[in-house]
Structure 1
């Protein structure tokens, strides 16, 4: 495929507002040039081999000049790379996308434009402010605040625009708010006209400040309200009192650490973001196939030797089915075997493969599983002395279930179906900890706890990190800060491990699933 540039709109920041086409462009890119206003979460969709270059700009702080960004795009494509130029909002609404497209055209570079949801449209709605409302506002205009400082210098006739429309939206205008307000008042707008500024709109850290043309400048200065923010001027601002919805969500402003394996974190992250929380991805483990696959392959070849099959995780199901496929076997090989799954997600994964579990205990602990099985023994539905159990599990799975089944008289093959490997923690996690910006730690297994602690130890030892806060705090103080952060665990085994390390355990899910953990988190905060 011929190398080209995708001028891509990333939307206002809510990950769910990224378009499908933009996501595809990120996924397929060799190089991603991303702006300050493009949510970093979108880089999760990129290929691991993709080159990611931050080219963000804010007032008086440019990593790259506009000319340098344009040159960089041309150079990368000429080197045979496909480039995703990721820009906040829509690339052609005050995003300088037109300039970049013209530069590419001049250089003979192929390009494609992917529109994004503009912050001028989305951010007011996330603050509960419609741009138009029947009988209240039937027109609106969008302008840039960068050119509002001086009437003699500005190319925007704010006075005429403000007089002609019911709602005025100003982008990039916080720094020049006094001048903008003065010119809107000159247009004849009443000093009582409502005004709202929405900062980091559609993200977990969204903030809104409201006032009127008469007092908004004073309020913004008193609150030290910083960019980036969208300014909305007009009577529609008053509807916020009734229509505000996003800032009422339960996890707004909460930075929640997610330590799940990257490939399995999506559903949990979506739950957090659906309640306006910010999921801080810090995978501490990754799932890989067993180093020695022969034991599982051998067990699959000899399935007729087993009376019972217990799956304790979704991964156990996945790797078992892969082994079944590799032996050119299908579901007929499971005929006559009673199957138990631990947890609804594991049962759902099994069902997707065409198998319905015979047993699903309510209590996912080892004690609960054994009590569940003993009940069938009492009903003469199972004889442990004549039973053989196959347990496809992780390399680090606790041996207690295997040991207890053997004590009951059963034969047990606890075979390694997959393994876990630790993942290096990013320095960003330590930076968030040092700046006291983590509100909740979450763990879904004992191994995520252990690997998080060991990963953090390595970060703390490396004081060569370029973190200003690291020079002002001792290692002991860092650990103390960590132990003050509330911690949530998926079940009692994980909770016990968290307490071993002295973490501030506040939440233990009653149902040992991601849904149960999330429900417990919401209950804790409300």
Structure 2
């Protein structure tokens, strides 16, 4: 029997770019991932298509899985010979209870590794423009839990030591006990005018901040209905934010975008949007499995004069199949076309010139190559491009494991923007989201809807979406730029 192993991994504070290289490697080879609420679910995109996901998220007074159950699951899955990743927000060693999980594994003599992550108490302030140490403002820094295991959850701390001996204090999840915290810091020597900042969803595009002093912040939190997850930072160093705040100045900061997804590859558009400060949720999440190509069509491949690739993935699958079939690509005499600029780029990367489908002549024998979704769209392809043969390279289906993940992401986000990158993305989104009751058409129409190109706009309008912007462009850079101008 294969020997299992556990990796206790820090997912970082939210921005998926802050995951460590070692943490990402563990995710990629995992067979089971037990993940927390504060671990960005987008990290699960990097897992194997066959990986099992188990949600261990916790909310105050509402535990999805209690800690003892998580410990038992870890032990059970490793004993089954699985590579198991326990994915925890921030750093697992900072209020992450990683010690308890490691003890449970060690008790059964099971192998494990601890993989540090970037702690929220350091990262969230930095994304708010505040380093936690500075020679002029503070040379000491403490991380403190804002609740404990006592019945009332109020932390029992060395308040005098914190108030008089530490320049900057980061309280984790301190919203509920904020009045108690402020009262004790003032009582034990901190000035009532000491600056305080709360940073909610730090490093996410939906990051929000609330500033005050020890004497005002509790009332401000109540008035603004500010809630966890949040880091509370106390100290004179908070004043630096006025000079070096940077994250909120990104052009797409505050954009919470739902991006209709059509491919299985990582989205270059989603990355560009995130790089500019947006929070991006992609759905549906697709999985693909290559299938044996139609022997009859492959046997007459040299007879086609035009080959239309419907996705970048279909380009990769087709050329990979040629190698496996030991078929010389020089037998193909056809001109290559792509349904989108991404498909054209994928063809070019294989060393062939290609054009967009909109430039394809009507004359000539046509072969349309794509995944299983082209089957149901045969009538549309025929109307637009004329009669042709169809070659399916892979079976594409929605990864159902991501449906509950998507629903949880929607609960914690406040969407304001919707992007349809292609006409095909509209119909797929309607089928997998609207018709399955995950989001209604009315809810989507409350968002600012953007479309790539006239064809996408027509398709969105046909399905009843109130599109507020028509993008005649074809590049991700132009889409990002157009969002900056709105």
TM-score by length of 2: 0.85
Provide the rounded CA distance (Å) in 2 between the counterparts of 1:114 and 1:429.
Answer: 26
Q: CA deviation at 1:136?
A: 2.5
Cα separation, 2, equivalents of 1:413 and 1:216: 67
- When residues 24 and 428 of structure 1 are mapped into structure 2, their CA distance, relative to the original with a 3 A threshold, is closer
Query: In the alignment, which residue of structure 2 is the partner of 1:474?
Result: none
Selected match of 2:315 from 304, 314, 317:
317
**CA drift at 1:124:** 0.4
- The answer to whether the 8 A contact 1:261-1:286 is kept is no
Q: Would you say 1:141 and 2:116 are equivalent positions?
A: no
Query: 1:81-100 counterparts in 2 under 5 A?
Result: 81-100=82-101
> Contact between 1:490 and 1:516, CA under 8 Å: does it hold in 2?
no
Q: 1:333 to 1:459 in 2, by over 3 A?
A: closer
1:328-347 equivalences in 2 (<5 Å): 328-333=326-331, 344-347=341-344
What is the total number of aligned residue pairs between the two structures? 474
1:76 aligns with 2:77: yes
Tell me if 1:32 matches 2:33.
Answer: yes
In the aligned structure 2, how far is the partner of 1:392 from the partner of 1:489? Answer: 24
After TM superposition, the structure 1 = structure 2 runs for residues 124-523 of structure 1, keeping only pairs within 5 Å, are: 124-147=125-148, 156-283=157-284, 293-300=294-301, 302=302, 313-333=311-331, 344-353=341-350, 355-357=351-353, 360=355, 364=356, 366=358, 368-370=359-361, 391-394=367-370, 395=374, 396=377, 398-399=381-382, 402-403=385-386, 414-418=389-393, 423=398, 426=403, 437-456=414-433, 458-460=435-437, 478-523=440-485
Greater shift, 341-350 or 231-240, is seen at 341-350
Q: Secondary structure at the match of 1:47?
A: coil
Determine the structure 2 residue equivalent to 1:381: none
Spell out, residue by residue over 1:94-138, the C-alpha distance to the aligned partner (whole angstroms, 9 max, x if none). Answer: 111122222322222221101011011101001111112232222
- Give me the TM-score of the superposition, normalised by structure 1: 0.79
Are the equivalent residues in 1 in contact too, given 2:174–2:230 (CA < 8 A)?
A: yes
| Contact kept in structure 1, 2:77 and 2:84, CA below 8 Å | yes
The whole-number CA distance in structure 2 between the counterparts of 1:285 and 1:110 is 33
Give unpaired runs (5+ residues) of structure 1: 374-383, 404-411, 471-477
Corresponding residue number in structure 1 for 2:121? 120
1:117 partner SS? coil
Q: CA deviation at 1:19?
A: 1.7
Cα root mean square deviation, aligned: 3.5
Q: Which has the larger radius of gyration?
A: 1
**Alpha carbons of 1:41 and 1:345: their partners in 2 closer, same or farther (altered >3 Å)?**
closer
Residue ranges of structure 2 left out of the alignment (5+ in a row): none
Deviation at residue 424 of structure 1 after TM alignment: 7.8
Partner of 2:14: 13
Compared CA separation, residues 485 and 295, structure 1 to 2 (3 A): farther
